[in-house]
Structures are given as C-alpha cells and as structure tokens.
Structure 1
C-alpha cells in the first residue's frame, strides 16, 4: 500500500473526474491520498472532497503564492478548522521566492509563523513549501523549533543538501516527488540516499511534476507508484519494503490519519 502524501484534488485539472482519479490511484496500489490546502478560505472545498471520497484526507492552510491574499489569518482560526476527523495537517505554508510577483518576504514569513503556531495549537504536522529560500527557511524553522517544537514535512523536496540535513536535525520528514525520477536529478537522488529511511515520504504534488514515464502529462495520485519505484531503486531496497516504510512514516507523522 502507498500513500500520496501531497496532491491538489481541488485543482481544475481534476474537477470533472475526481472519482476517476481516486479509482485509478487505488487500482495502482495508492490506497490513500492527502489533498493539500492552498487557501484557508477554501477549507469547505477540501472538506467536501474528503467527505465524498473515503480515500482522501485534507489539510488547511495558505500556500506562499496566496500569502498576499491571506496575510493575517490568525493561528487560532486556522487551528479551529482542523476539528473535522479527515483534516490531518496544517499548510502548505512556507517560502517561494521563485517568481518576481511573489508576496513580500516579510508577509510570507508572517504567514509561515502563524501556520507553525497553528500546527502547535492543533498538534498536527505542518506541510512546508520551500523554493529558492533555503537559508531563510532554515533560519525560521530553527528559530521556531527553539521556541517550542512542532512536527512537519519538507514537501516536494528539491532544495539543497543543507536544508535536508537541517530538516532532519530538527525532526522533520522529507517528501520526494516525481522530480526525483528525472534523468538529471542526480543530486536530488544523492540527497534521498542520505535522508534516514524513517523520515522519507513520497508524493505527487499532482497535477504538477509527473514522474517518468509520464512526464509532460497531468500528474495524478496513481503515479505515486512510479516515484516510489524510483526511490526504492535509488535506495537499493525492494519496492514492497519502500512502500511499507513510507506508509509507516506517513502514519508516524500524520498521527490523526486512521490506517486502512
């Protein structure tokens, strides 16, 4: 059994066929998936998807691309939205400095710190987005962990080795997407080999970043299996062992998620 630890089932790519997406995932051995929030204002949408599909959990939070739209949502308000039994995490929140029109760094940091506090208040893990922001992310996570620990995962990891090492040192998990299957992702595969086996998760980030051999297509949770096979080969372990370990890791992090 595999779990897609990060996908976006609310995106327009899936609007006409969420049931089909879920069915194809289950047929591929991906029995559960976590649909990730990009806006707190859409919490009802994520809840409705999870209620309609028993294989789906969801999170609540503001993606850094939306930080300028939701710059001041209090941590208490975010935490209050997690009472639903299928809401198992906070985020995704973090830093994304890739685009010139991104929200100011100070705004993204304020939003991230609010989500960290919401993770503490709800006792749920934080899904962390970091792109072109390694040093700033490490500094904020280190500062917040010193104040009071929280749990979380560096999702869709494509940053440098130092951030992976820092995340592991801080007790975080590291999740790999289809990027790890790309031919030129040698450094990323080296990073995956260095992450402790009990800290690795697997994801799609669907509809983005379809793994080989589906690259160029709309990604979907069923393709978690392809990324998992690539990671198993990278780590030189049997696929079944990787599937079991990554699923166990998911449940050690997302403790609110009931096992199938």
Structure 2
C-alpha cells in the first residue's frame, strides 16, 4: 500500500481529470491521498471531493504565500476541522523565498494561528518551510514548550539542523519527488539519516513531478517513484518503504485511521 500524504487535487490542473487521476492512482497501488488546502476558496471544493471519494482525505488552512491577502480566523479553522474527513491543519508555515519583511510578519501571525488550531483540535499541523530554517526552528521549539502538538514538515528541502530539530520535537518529515532530481544530493544525504519511522511520502501534485516524469503534470500515481528512490537511498526494499510510510501516515493522521475502521 502507498499513500500520497500531500497533493492538491482541487487545483485547476485537475478540474477536468480528477476521476482519471483517482483511477491512475489505484492502478499504481496508491490507496489513499490527502488533498491539502492552501486558501479559503479551496475549502468547499475539498469538502465536495472528500465526500465523493472514500480514499481521499482533506485539510484546512492558508499557505504562507497567501497569508498577506487571505486570513482565516481561528474559529473558522476549528469549525472546518470538525468535518468528518478533514484530518489535518494546513498547509501553513513560513516561506521567505521572496524576502518581503511585511509578508514575513503576516506569515508568522498566520502560522501561530494554525498552531493554535492544531493544539486545540488535536489534528496534525502540515508545515511548509522554505528559506526559513532558523525562524522555523525557533517557532517550533517555543510553541512545543508551551503545549505540544503533532505535525510534519512537508516537501522537506531544509538543512539537517531543521530536520534534526523536527525529529527531536517528535515531528514527522515528508519527502516529495524532489528527492529524485539530479541536483538533490544534499536532500538524499539527509533522508538517509532520517529514521524510516519518521518519514512520510508525497507528490505535492500538480507540481514537482519526479524523475522520469519531469515536465509532466504530477499526480498521486507518481508517488511510486518517490518510494523507489527512498528505498535506494536507504538500501532497503520498496515494499518496506511502502509499508512503513503508510503506517506512519495513519499514526500521525489518526483521524483518518478512525474513519477507515468505523
């Protein structure tokens, strides 16, 4: 069994082909996916999709690059978190790629709101971090000291210091198709050191299609290539990667496991 822990099936790229994408993932052995929210306008489409397909779960949250123009109040996040198939809070976090100080303030405020939502609801936090390793470590450390919460760093591309801090805080780390890229040797070295018991896998579709699908529309079926690469990097079997990352998904997103067993 394979699980794509993070994709965006409500994005325009998939409007006319969601059913085909779901069929493709089943053929590839991908049994479940989580389609992740990035802005307020995603929510209704996510709820419609997760209620249409038994094997799709969803999240609620505002992407850091949307934080300056799209605000979702804590109460609203918590309301959506009560929906049966909403299993995560996010994606949220810090993206300092553009280096805009005003935007940084908005991102931090939004991130803290989502952390509170995670602590209150008990749902795991889906964390986006780009060019923000130091600030991310500080915020996670401080917030965990006040009250712990569950979560993962998604589409990880940070340094070992951030990965190590995340592991120390009992967070999970999710790896995308970037690991298959020729210029991702640093990431492969880090993944080799991360315990398999703390890893999840994702496509982040429709972007970041793995080798050998570079340049094509990414989709959950391509998660197979991520699992193959991790198996090669760690010197273990593909089947073990599939089994353990799927177990980790349900350990972290335990609301999904409760839904499937009910």
The TM-score range, normalised by the shorter chain, is over 0.9
- CA distance in 2 between counterparts of 1:53 and 1:103 reads 40
- CA distance in 2 between counterparts of 1:61 and 1:216 reads 28
Map of 1:45 onto structure 2: 45
Question: Aligned-pair distance for 1:90?
Answer: 0.3
1:163-194 per-position Cα deviation (integer Å, ceiling 9, x unaligned)? 11111111100000000011221110111111
* Deviation beyond 3 Å, 4+ runs, structure 1: 100-103
Question: Aligned-pair distance for 1:101?
Answer: 6.0
- CA distance in 1 between counterparts of 2:98 and 2:212 reads 28
- CA distance in 1 between counterparts of 2:17 and 2:159 reads 36
Q: CA RMSD in A?
A: 1.3
Given that 2:88 and 2:126 are in contact with CA atoms closer than 8 Å, whether structure 1 keeps it comes out as: yes
Map of 1:241 onto structure 2: 240
1:20-42 per-position Cα deviation (integer Å, ceiling 9, x unaligned)? 00110111011100000001343
Question: Aligned-pair distance for 1:65?
Answer: 1.2
Map of 1:26 onto structure 2: 26
Map of 2:8 onto structure 1: 8
Which residues in structure 2 correspond to 1:144-223 (within 5 Å)? Answer: 144-223=143-222
TM-score, normalization by structure 1: 0.96
Question: Aligned-pair distance for 1:100?
Answer: 5.1
Question: Aligned-pair distance for 1:102?
Answer: 8.3
Helix, strand or coil at the partner of 1:209: coil
Map of 2:108 onto structure 1: 109
Map of 2:225 onto structure 1: 226
Question: Aligned-pair distance for 1:110?
Answer: 0.5
Map of 1:96 onto structure 2: 95
Question: Aligned-pair distance for 1:74?
Answer: 2.6
1:113-138 per-position Cα deviation (integer Å, ceiling 9, x unaligned)? 00000011110000000001100111
1:51 and 1:102, CA in 2 relative to 1: closer, same or farther beyond 3 A? Answer: farther
Question: Aligned-pair distance for 1:84?
Answer: 1.6
- CA distance in 2 between counterparts of 1:129 and 1:21 reads 24
Question: Aligned-pair distance for 1:68?
Answer: 1.0
- CA distance in 1 between counterparts of 2:98 and 2:131 reads 10
Which residues in structure 2 correspond to 1:49-68 (within 5 Å)? Answer: 49-68=49-68
Helix, strand or coil at the partner of 1:94: strand
Map of 1:128 onto structure 2: 127
Given that 2:8 and 2:35 are in contact with CA atoms closer than 8 Å, whether structure 1 keeps it comes out as: yes
Any unmatched runs of 5+ in structure 2?
Answer: none
Question: Aligned-pair distance for 1:80?
Answer: 1.3
TM-score, normalization by structure 2: 0.96
- CA distance in 2 between counterparts of 1:67 and 1:103 reads 11
- CA distance in 2 between counterparts of 1:48 and 1:69 reads 24
Q: Compare the two structures and name the one with the higher helix fraction.
A: 2
Helix, strand or coil at the partner of 2:58: strand
- CA distance in 2 between counterparts of 1:32 and 1:196 reads 23
